[in-house]
Structure formats: structure tokens, C-alpha cells
Amino acid sequence: MNTAVLSARGVYKSYGKKEVLHNLDLTIEPGKIYGLIGRNGAGKTTLLGILTAQNTLDQGEVTYDGQTVWENQRALDNICFSRELQPTLFSGQNNLKVKHYLKSAAIYYPNWDQEYADRLLDEFKLEPKKKICQLSKGQMSMVTILIALASRAPITILDEPAAGLDVVMRERFYQLLLEDYTQTNRTFIVSTHIIEEAASVFEQVIILDEGKIIENCPTEELIDQFRYVSGREDVVDEVCRGLEVLSTHQMGRHKTAAVRGGGVKLDAALSADVDVSPMNLQNVFVALCGHGDAQ
Amino acid sequence: MRGTLNDQSLIYLQIAQMLEDDILRGVYREEEQVPSTNELARGYNINPATAAKGINLLVADGVLYKKRGIGMFVASGAEETVRRKRKAAFYDGFVRPMVKEGASLALSEEELLAMVQQAVKEGEEK
């Protein structure tokens, strides 16, 4: 089994005056499916680009198996970053054809599995001769998914693979991902905005907020730290004392608080006259990254 | 097994609970094989590590056991073990909340017990 770790240490990145990543540390262990979530503009794509040496960084280092990834053929052979396709290239239309993308992927990735690629091409009903600019958004996502899966790279990164896919196709995508993962046990990093339906697929979840990793831990362990506590205002306040309150919502005397705390403290809440209900990953994400924007 | 998972509790707990339900219903009998981690992962579109966590929970409780190189099997006496576990969970999950709800309605102990007895009687008449 592969034991190489992909790791970022002290990464800073700015675009002009805007700092996108701020002293970021991240460790990607082999053999797991990671979910990367963050709000629009949080720096997800920038981070993924830097992890795969497709973006420059201002400070810090990214290593794979102890070696820097920058201009390191041996490391980059093992990492596939399937970027979102764009209908335009530079200043014109993206007139490259699907087959051109597949051909370059076959050259670029040493573990490329042509038979698997053909099978997926068939299943997704993609026309190899079609130009990228003629594809729908969903079909562009399918091309990036196809390249990512068929690359068979030990570390495979997908940026917003679910964007534009209909719900049937999204389910099928997660099925394919899990099937391949079960067979190969390679590492996947998947960024997505459609959180809830992906939560059960992620073993580990990474939350990026304002240029920093604020969480990187097993999905269920994270979710289990959070609860909604609701009831009469003063009782809720009493129960929540000593717990980290992330957001509150009030209607008259009825108050609901999103709280974070260890098991023992939450158990204390159960014996008071309040309702305690669990959160799902989406609720947790909103509680952590909402910053009071929408309540 | 149930068709879908919900987001009201952690997935590995739901997996463990569904397997227990099926053991109580006789879907899986004692000494019979249960679905593997990978089969569960495929069936429910969940991460295999999560499915494994659910199965390991049942192994720790003595409901399932591992036959090396073959798979997971229902332990003998598993039905009894599950029932005992469920009884304890019934007290915490149903009886105590019921008493709490009764208290918030200012029901006396006698009234509460009378209600329980009546419900038992109605159940017997059906």
C-alpha cells in the first residue's frame, strides 16, 4: 500500500493585495476520501492548485513523500488535479475536443487506465469529437470526472465535480468514486458546495475559511460535537453556559442555540427542559463559516 | 435493511442499528454471514470506513464476530444480546423522556402510570 503523505506547511498566497491563504498547514494521509468545503472565495481552488504545483505560492512548502512537489516529476506523476473545464480559453472559445483532453491525460498520467476511460466515456455518453465549448456544464464535469478516475493517480483531486450534474448523475458519481476507492484505496480530495449528499462519502472533512484550515478531522467525529439546543430563553442560556455557542436564533422567548461541546457537557443539557437535536454536516458548516451572514 | 439513511443520527450508528433490526427480524440468523463493509458501502453510498465502524461496534458488543478471511457472522446468542441492549436503550430513549414530558404537563405519578396501564390494555385488546 502507498504510504506517501502530501503535506503543506506555512503556505501564504496573495493575489495583489488580497491574501487568499494565510499560514496554512494541511496533511493529506494516504487511503482516505477527503471532502474540502468552504464558502465562495475561501481559497479552495487556489489551495488545490498549490498542492499540485499548478499555482505558485508566496511562502511555505508543499511536499509529497518528503520531497517538494514543485517541478518534481516523480511527485507530480502521483498526483492528478482534474480542474474544472472552461468553455473559453485565453481570449477565444475552447475549441479543443474531448479526445484531445483524454489524449493529453493519457500521456501525462503514468497510471492512466485507457480501458476504464473508454468504459466511462461510454457510460457518460460523451462524444470524443465534440468541442469543449459545445458541451453543457454537466458534460464538462463528466469529462473532469472521467480524467480523474481513469488517471488512477495515488492522489486524485476533483474540484467541484458535482457542479452542473443532475441528481441522478451526482449519485452515480459518488457510486463510481466509492467503487474505485474500494478497489484501489487511493486518496481522493473532493471539493463541493453540495455538502449534505456528499457527507456520507467523506471519511475526513477539511473546512477552509478565510484562508485557513479551521477543521480537518473525521466527518462523523466533527458532526457529533455539535447540537441545536432550543427552549425557553433563560433555560437555554443556563444549559449553554460553558459551551461554545456559535449562533443563536430567537422568536419571542423561544431561543435556539447552535452549540459545540464534548459529550459530557452535552449530556448535561439532556436532563434540562430543552430540546436537543443533532446537526448534519451542512448545519455544522453554516454554524462555523456563516459569520452571522444568514441566520 | 432499510432503504435509506437519515441525518438524524451518525451514519455508523444507523448501520449498526439496521443490522440489529435485521437480526431481530430474522433476516440474518445466528451463525449466518452479514454483508461485508464493501457491500454496505456500495449499497448505501457511504465511505467503507464508516460502514466498518458500524460493524466494529457490533463486534465490540458481541453481536457479530469475524471469521478470518471469510467475513462477518452473527454470533450465537446475538438476538438475546440485541434485545438486552435495546431494553436499556428503551429506558433512556423512551421511558425517561416520557416521564420528563409528563412532568412538564404536571401529570402526577398515578396519572402517568394509569395512562401506561391503559395503553397496555388497549394494545392487548387489538
* Residue A295, pLDDT above cutoff 90: no
As a whole number of angstroms, the distance between CA A263 and CA A268 comes to: 9
CB contact under 8 A, A203 and B42: no
Fold that domain B11-78 belongs to in CATH? Arc Repressor Mutant, subunit A (1.10.10)
Chain A CA closest to residue B101: A273
CB contact under 8 A, A182 and B48: yes
Domain ends where: A169, A189, A221?
A221
For every residue of A135-158, DSSP letters joined together read S-HHHHHHHHHHHHHHH--SEEEE
What's the DSSP call for residue A133? G
Angle at B79 between CA B77 and CA B80, to 5 degrees: 70
Label residue A197 by pLDDT band (50, 70, 90).
confident
pLDDT value, residue B62? 94
- Tens place of pLDDT per residue across chain B (126 aa): 456 777 778 899 999 999 999 999 989 999 999 999 999 998 888 999 999 999 999 999 999 999 998 999 999 999 999 999 999 989 988 998 899 889 889 999 999 999 999 999 998 877
**Mean pLDDT, residues A42-54 taken together:** 92
Direct distance between the N- and C-terminal alpha carbons of chain A, in angstroms, rounded to an integer: 45
Q: How far is A281 from chain B (nearest CA, A)?
A: 9
User: How many domains does chain A fold into?
Assistant: 2
Domain ends where: A198, A221, A244?
A221
As a whole number of angstroms, the distance between CA A276 and CA A272 comes to: 10
As a whole number of angstroms, the distance between CA A94 and CA A117 comes to: 22
What's the DSSP call for residue B40? H
Spatial CA neighbour of A153 closest among A105, A119, A115, A199:
A105
SS3 category, A87: coil
pLDDT value, residue A7? 92
Chain A residues in contact with B104 (beta carbon < 8 A): 273
As a whole number of angstroms, the distance between CA A79 and CA A63 comes to: 12
ipTM tops 0.90: no
Q: Which three cell numbers stand for residue A16?
A: 495583489
Q: Are residues A118 and A134 in the same domain?
A: yes
Q: Are residues A266 and A172 in the same domain?
A: no
Q: Are residues A149 and A280 in the same domain?
A: no
| Residues of chain A with a CB closer than 8 angstroms to some CB in chain B | 32-33, 171, 174-175, 178-179, 181-182, 196, 199-203, 219-220, 223-224, 273, 277-278, 280
Q: Which three cell numbers stand for residue B21?
A: 433490526
